Chain A
Amino acid sequence: MICEDARRRIGAEPGVTSRELADHLRDCHACVAFQLEMITLDAHIRRALQEPPAIARARRRLPAQRTWALAASVVLALAATLAVWALRTDNSLAHDVVAHVVAEPQSWADTDAVSEAALDAVLRKSGVILGATPYSVVYARSCWFRGHYVPHLVVHTAHSLATVLILRNETVTTRESFHEDGLYGVIVPGTRGSIAVLAANGAQLDELADRMLLAVRSTNAVK
């Protein structure tokens, strides 16, 4: 499979990876980045479609009975939303992580390694340093997430790209895997806080998370 075919396939079904495509992606970082861009774009499309388009108001006046029915359905929808909100659990951390990553699609586009100084600056802002890893960091930003600045990194592994969020203020008790908006992810508990790792496919996510967990250390200069 050549890149053009791979991109057509990805563009048609961003979340689907056939064996042939997987073989291509193993050796083509550019297509991996393209897939991740398309997955994030698809998440935006999905959200955009969730609401009806705001064009063309009803030309006809609603009969009173239908107006009441509409009002009742709005009340019911609000009640349902409140119920869901009330029952919200810490699982929403995974949802928030995905939402954050999807909102930053440009993070997948960088291919050059971030300078050590730039990476260090991002990490120190959150009071951490990164020890040796086999991965090259191609994106590093300090992002506002749930009331704190967190390091948002994208790393090149041997075969893919993965996002890493170092969440020092988010405690989880157990390792949690998830799949949302076409992204696979895992959140692992650390000595302080947790680390979230996301990628377009779930292979080797756990290994990557474990390596990052070992590499992330606290500094004394916590701000």
Chain B
Amino acid sequence: MRNYPSDIPVSSMGGPATTGVEDDVRITRLFESLRPELLRFALWLTRDRALAEDVVQESLLRAWRSREALKDPACSRAWLLTIVRREHARLYERKRLELVSLNEALEHESNAFLSRDDGEVNALRSAILQLPIEYREPLIMQVLGGFSVDEIARELSLSASAVLTRLFRARNKLRTLYGLTPAPDSLGSEEAP
């Protein structure tokens, strides 16, 4: 069973005094080893490196403060990814983020990007980045984070059928990139499938 950070005292400060030094060292190493993966996850969510680094930094701090809640180290990846996702959501709640033209940002970086990757994957990455957050977020959670539909539903406070619809629509939008015909989408709401 996974640990979920629902039991994280968000406003708590300072770590528990009872944790042993060895445990702290172990958990620090664990967090650091997962940091690149957390950053990648945050980058796909935020689409901004500086912001992603802030989100990861803040998430690791929160995780550290709540490290006693992590009962099973095997669950640490999912636990930390969930904290990152929540921190990202919290960021949007706290302040209205400056909007940046994604096309400009992509264009700005495209030369370096194309030089080390093929055009098809590049196009797919661009398309994923341009998906609205309500489609991009569950897709990234599912494919990159390995979360199940039920887990995503719980995390996003949605019904499982709404998550299924969002995942279907995300992939359906990406299908066109490959010259594939999108599947019919006659759903008015997200609750139908």
Q: Which residues in A have some Cβ–Cβ distance to B below 8 Å?
A: 4-5, 7-9, 11-14, 34, 37-38, 41-42, 44-60, 73, 105-106, 109
Cβ contacts A to B, 6 pairs, < 8 Å? A8-B187, A13-B149, A37-B175, A41-B175, A55-B49, A56-B100
The answer to whether B165 and A12 have CB atoms under 8 Å apart is yes
- Bound-state CA distance A49–B105 (Å) is 18
Which residues of the partner chain A approach B180 to less than 8 Å between Cβ atoms?
37, 41, 105, 109
Which residues of the partner chain A approach B119 to less than 8 Å between Cβ atoms?
none
User: Within the complex, which residue of A8, A46, A47, A48 is in contact with B168, where a contact is CB–CB below 8 Å?
Assistant: A8
Interface centre among A5, A13, A46 (most CB of B within 10 A): A13
The answer to whether A60 and B105 have CB atoms under 8 Å apart is no
Which residues of the partner chain B approach A9 to less than 8 Å between Cβ atoms?
164, 168, 193
B39 interface hit (Cβ, 8 Å):
yes
B2 interface hit (Cβ, 8 Å):
no
The answer to whether B174 and A41 have CB atoms under 8 Å apart is yes
- Bound-state CA distance A202–B97 (Å) is 47
- Bound-state CA distance A52–B37 (Å) is 9
Mark out the residues of chain B between 93 and 142 whose CB falls within 8 Å of any chain A CB in the assembled complex. Answer: 100, 102, 105-106, 108-110, 112-113, 117, 120-121, 124-125, 128-129, 139-140, 142
B48 interface hit (Cβ, 8 Å):
yes
The answer to whether A56 and B164 have CB atoms under 8 Å apart is no
B86 interface hit (Cβ, 8 Å):
no
Which residues of the partner chain B approach A12 to less than 8 Å between Cβ atoms?
149, 163-165, 167-168, 171, 193
- Bound-state CA distance A89–B112 (Å) is 33
Which residues of the partner chain A approach B125 to less than 8 Å between Cβ atoms?
48, 51, 53-54
- Bound-state CA distance A105–B175 (Å) is 11
B43 interface hit (Cβ, 8 Å):
yes
The answer to whether A41 and B183 have CB atoms under 8 Å apart is no
Which residues of the partner chain B approach A47 to less than 8 Å between Cβ atoms?
121
User: Within the complex, which residue of B47, B143, B165, B167 is in contact with A56, where a contact is CB–CB below 8 Å?
Assistant: B47
The answer to whether A44 and B124 have CB atoms under 8 Å apart is yes
The answer to whether A49 and B102 have CB atoms under 8 Å apart is no
B92 interface hit (Cβ, 8 Å):
no
Given A4-B184, A8-B165, A105-B178 contact (CB < 8 Å): yes
Given contacts A4-B186, A12-B171, A53-B129, 14 further A-B pairs with CB under 8 A are A5-B193, A12-B149, A13-B142, A13-B164, A41-B174, A41-B175, A44-B121, A49-B128, A53-B44, A55-B108, A55-B109, A56-B109, A58-B49, A59-B49
Which residues of the partner chain A approach B144 to less than 8 Å between Cβ atoms?
46, 49
Given A49-B143, A55-B105, A8-B171 contact (CB < 8 Å): no
**What 5 pairs between A and B have smallest CB-CB spacing?**
A11-B168, A54-B113, A12-B164, A12-B167, A7-B183
Q: Which residue of B lies closest to A54 (CB)?
A: B113
- Bound-state CA distance A42–B129 (Å) is 16
Given A5-B193, A14-B171, A52-B40 contact (CB < 8 Å): yes
B50 interface hit (Cβ, 8 Å):
yes
Q: Which residue of B lies closest to A59 (CB)?
A: B50
Mark out the residues of chain B between 143 and 174 whose CB falls within 8 Å of any chain A CB in the assembled complex. Answer: 143-144, 149, 163-165, 167-169, 171-172, 174
B36 interface hit (Cβ, 8 Å):
yes
Q: Which residue of B lies closest to A43 (CB)?
A: B143
The answer to whether B44 and A58 have CB atoms under 8 Å apart is no
Given A41-B180, A46-B143, A47-B121, A58-B174 contact (CB < 8 Å): no
Which residues of the partner chain B approach A109 to less than 8 Å between Cβ atoms?
180
B58 interface hit (Cβ, 8 Å):
no
